[in-house]
């Protein structure tokens, strides 16, 4: 493990108000999105879609890294360059999703444990050779009746720590993603309680496994009301409680925090991020690692037809620009109609 390399990469991932584009949808997830828009689901369309996104003009002005899926990191651009090579050429760091998904957690109804540790050291060696400089692993925590259980939070934190240590052994920066889902009717205070505990358990697990905090990126949820809660909190309340949880748990030597959008609308994800940055006085860089909240409108415009590439690229380029402003606290909702 080269701590200097890890730290340098992590700092680059959150530098200059840039964020991370998540292109790591599993086959099942991207199929749902394609199906909903009538896009034929096949390997070439998945490649062509991601090729279109990554060739957006000036994307590297706003995007520091791109999380790829196992299929995508092995694919090539239309011109025949591997995606990692192309990304390096345009100044975007290639990354890779390495978990194999959240599966039912035995003896714990309605809870999940993320799998993928089997053969992970060997897979990380391969991904490193393919050009990956960072990786991502997502844990899923659900709020509901009598859940989450301590067992679920501890088991997922341990898996995240195992994954992180395996990444750092081959000088790959781990993005650790403990997502407390928005699904449910819980209020924002319940979300804060669970998020705070989840982050506390996570950093204890990382510390026990000697994960170097200066060589990781945290990808947490924002503290929000549940999606079905009758009272939806303001951006100011979301910002205050989100920062409070981070201040309670995140070591100061973590270089950056890249929020997931977690089901928020495009505008809400940008606005909440900007409000968080306006009140953040901590040393970490706070930015975004969005998938759907960056891509969805562009996908709707593209719809499987490369004749629409230019118009779709304008949409994602503008969305990336707005989120870059949010990463420096300079976004406001009035910018959406300009």
**Single pTM value for the model:** 0.96
Cβ atoms of residues 72 and 46 within 8 Å: yes
d(CA 45, CA 268): 29
Give the three-state DSSP class for 254: coil
- Sign of the Cα torsion 263, 268, 273, 275 reads negative
Taking the chain, what is the end-to-end CA distance rounded to the nearest angstrom? 47
Neighbours of 60 (CB within 10 A): 18
User: Is residue 173's pLDDT more than 90?
Assistant: yes
Residue 335: per-residue pLDDT: 86
Backbone phi and psi for residue 76, each to the nearest 5 degrees, phi listed first: -125, 160
Alpha-carbon separation of residue 326 from 113, 184, 319, 320 (angstroms):
32, 27, 11, 10
d(CA 254, CA 195): 18
Q: Token pair 């976004």 is at which residue? A: 331
Share of the chain above pLDDT 70, in %: 100
Cβ atoms of residues 156 and 113 within 8 Å: yes
Q: What angle do CA 153, 216, 2 make, to 5 degrees?
A: 130
Average pLDDT, the chain: 96
Neighbours of 22 (CB within 10 A): 29
Query: Number of structural domains, the chain?
Result: 1
Averaged over 86-112, what is the pLDDT?
97
Averaged over 133-141, what is the pLDDT?
98
Q: Which of 112, 219, 285, 301 is catalytic?
A: 219
d(CA 215, CA 270): 26
Give me 223's structure tokens.
Answer: 């503290």
The stretches of the chain forming alpha helices (DSSP H) are 3-13, 27-36, 43-54, 70-73, 83-89, 120-130, 150-169, 188-208, 235-249, 266-279, 292-302, 309-326
| Residue from 273, 265, 263 nearest 235 by CA | 273
Q: Determine the structural domain holding residue 315 and report its residue range.
A: 3-337
Cβ atoms of residues 52 and 301 within 8 Å: no
Give me 287's structure tokens.
Answer: 């930015």
Tell me the CATH number at 271: 3.20.20.70
User: Is residue 333's pLDDT more than 80?
Assistant: yes
Per-residue pLDDT tens for 282-312? 999 999 999 999 999 999 999 999 999 999 9
Per-residue pLDDT tens for 23-82? 999 999 999 999 999 999 999 999 999 999 999 999 999 999 999 999 999 999 999 999
Neighbours of 252 (CB within 10 A): 10
Give me 291's structure tokens.
Answer: 């998938």
| Residue from 2, 10, 25, 1 nearest 290 by CA | 25
Give the three-state DSSP class for 179: strand
| Residue from 177, 66, 168, 68 nearest 114 by CA | 177
- Sign of the Cα torsion 301, 306, 309, 310 reads negative
> pLDDT band at residue 256, thresholds of 50, 70 and 90?
very high
Residue 205: per-residue pLDDT: 98
Cis amide leading into 148 (omega within 30): yes
Catalytic residue check, 177: yes
Residue 338: per-residue pLDDT: 62
Residue 172: per-residue pLDDT: 98
Averaged over 307-336, what is the pLDDT?
95
Per-residue pLDDT tens for 11-36? 999 998 999 999 999 999 999 999 99
Exposure string over 115-147, b if 16+ CB within 10 A, otherwise e = ebbeebeebbeebbebbbbbbbbbbbbbbeeeb
Q: Which of 25, 111, 177, 179 is catalytic?
A: 177
d(CA 322, CA 314): 12
> pLDDT band at residue 263, thresholds of 50, 70 and 90?
confident
User: Is residue 155's pLDDT more than 80?
Assistant: yes
């Amino acid at each position: 493990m080269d701590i200097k390399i890890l730290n340098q990469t992590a700092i680059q991932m959150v530098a200059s108000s840039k964020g991370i584009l998540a292109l790591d949808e599993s086959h099942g997830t991207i199929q749902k999105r394609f199906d909903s828009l009538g896009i034929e689901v096949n390997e070439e369309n998945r490649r062509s879609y991601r090729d279109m996104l990554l060739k957006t003009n000036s994307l590297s002005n706003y995007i520091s890294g791109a999380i790829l899926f196992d299929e995508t990191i092995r694919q090539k651009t239309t011109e025949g360059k591997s995606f990692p090579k192309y990304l390096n050429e345009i100044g975007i760091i290639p990354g890779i999703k390495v978990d194999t998904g959240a599966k039912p957690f035995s003896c714990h109804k309605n809870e999940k444990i993320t799998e993928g540790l089997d053969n992970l050291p060997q897979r990380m060696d391969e991904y490193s050779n393919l050009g990956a400089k960072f990786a991502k692993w997502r844990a899923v925590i659900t709020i509901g009746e009598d859940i989450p259980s301590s067992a679920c939070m501890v088991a997922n934190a341990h898996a995240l720590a195992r994954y992180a240590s395996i990444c750092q052994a081959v000088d790959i920066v781990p993005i650790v993603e403990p997502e407390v889902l928005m699904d449910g009717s819980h209020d924002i205070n319940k979300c804060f309680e669970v998020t705070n505990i989840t982050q506390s358990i996570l950093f204890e697990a990382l510390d026990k496994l000697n994960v170097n905090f200066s060589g990781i990126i945290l990808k947490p949820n924002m503290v929000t009301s549940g999606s079905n809660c009758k009272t939806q909190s303001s951006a100011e309340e979301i910002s205050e409680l989100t920062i409070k949880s981070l201040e309670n748990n995140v070591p100061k030597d973590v270089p950056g925090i890249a929020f997931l959008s977690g089901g928020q609308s495009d505008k809400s994800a940008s606005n909440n991020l900007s409000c968080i940055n306006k009140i953040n006085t901590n040393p970490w860089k706070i930015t975004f690692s969005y998938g759907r909240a960056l891509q969805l409108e562009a996908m709707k415009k593209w719809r499987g037809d490369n004749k629409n590439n230019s118009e779709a690229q304008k949409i994602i380029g503008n969305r990336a620009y707005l989120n870059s402003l949010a990463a420096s606290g300079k976004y406001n909702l009035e910018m959406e109609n300009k």
